[in-house]
Amino acid sequence: MTTLGIIGAGNIGSQVARIAVEAGDNVVIANSRGPETLEALIAELGPTARAATALEAADNL
């Protein structure tokens, strides 16, 4: 399964994440404030998405 790393979880990043999850991909998504601030988005996206630091998202870890 493809894992997509997304840096930026605003208008564009969150929407790209929704589309990727819908398409069956894993998502690792980051913002500037830290993974703990993305709880609501991750809850919405479901188990194939997780929040990370920007470095982790860049590495697709």
Ligand X SMILES: NC(=O)c1ccc[n+]([C@@H]2O[C@H](COP(=O)([O-])OP(=O)(O)OC[C@H]3O[C@@H](n4cnc5c(N)ncnc54)[C@H](OP(=O)(O)O)[C@@H]3O)[C@@H](O)[C@H]2O)c1
The whole-angstrom separation of Cα 39 and Cα 23 is 21
Residue number with CB closer to ligand X (23 or 33): 33
Residue number with CB closer to ligand X (3 or 8): 8
Shortest Cβ distance from residue 61 to ligand X (Å)? 15
Shortest Cβ distance from residue 18 to ligand X (Å)? 13
- Here the tokens at position 59 are 């590495």
The whole-angstrom separation of Cα 11 and Cα 1 is 25
The whole-angstrom separation of Cα 39 and Cα 44 is 9
Interaction between residue 11 and ligand X (CB under 6 A): yes
Residue ranges binding ligand X (CB under 6 A): 7-13, 30-33, 54
